[in-house]
Structure 1
Amino acid sequence: MNPVDKILGELESKRKAMNERLMNSRTIVEANKIERELWAVRAAIRHYRSMGNGKSGSQLERSESHQRSDC
Structure 2
Amino acid sequence: MEKKHMKKEITLFMATMLVCGNMIGSGVFMLPATLAELSGPMATIIAWVITTIGSILIAISFANLGSKYPSTGG
Structure with a larger share of its residues in helix: 1
- Normalising by the smaller structure, the TM-score range is 0.3 to 0.5
**Structure 1 length-normalised TM:** 0.42
1 or 2 for the larger relative contact order (CA 8 Å, sep ≥6)? 2
Larger Rg: 2
**Structure 2 length-normalised TM:** 0.40
